[in-house]
Amino acid sequence: MENSWRTELSSDDTVALQIEMPNYSDVKSNNFHCGRCGKQYLRKRTLQRHMRYDCGTEPRFPCFICGLRFRRRYALTSHLVAVHGVQRDEVEYSMLSLFGTDKESAPY
């Protein structure tokens, strides 16, 4: 009996379906703001990461080919693949030997 729920409802019945979605003002009130630059984040953890690694810090991952510097290791990886044509597996192997695997060097 496929679609049996449809046959149980007559055209005279009114069915109210409501999806609970927070409105914009609710979402906005939950934002976390950076006191240095004013950027807003929905999660406290994202703001903490921003303040620790991005805001007011110098980029610390240099491209060994052109010298351009990046704040995140994954951005350097993408740069090497897209701009310099280095194979991704070679880049990932090089990253491990150059920067290690500690949490601060992690791509996220």
Q: What pLDDT does residue 91 have? A: 85
Q: What pLDDT does residue 30 have? A: 61
Taking the model in full, what pTM does it have?
A: 0.57
Report residues of the chain scoring pLDDT below 70: 1-30, 101-108
34-40 CB contacts, 8 Å cutoff, 24+ apart: none
Rounded Cα gap, residues 54 and 101, in angstroms: 19
Cα–Cα distance list, 39 to 44, 46, 82, 88, 98 (Å): 12, 11, 28, 32, 31
Work out the number of other CB atoms within 10 angstroms of the CB of residue 54.
15
Tell me the pLDDT tens digit for each residue of 80-90: 999 999 998 88
Tell me the pLDDT tens digit for each residue of 49-62: 999 989 988 999 99
**Could you tell me where the beta strands, DSSP code E, fall in 1-108?**
32-33, 40-41, 61-62, 69-70
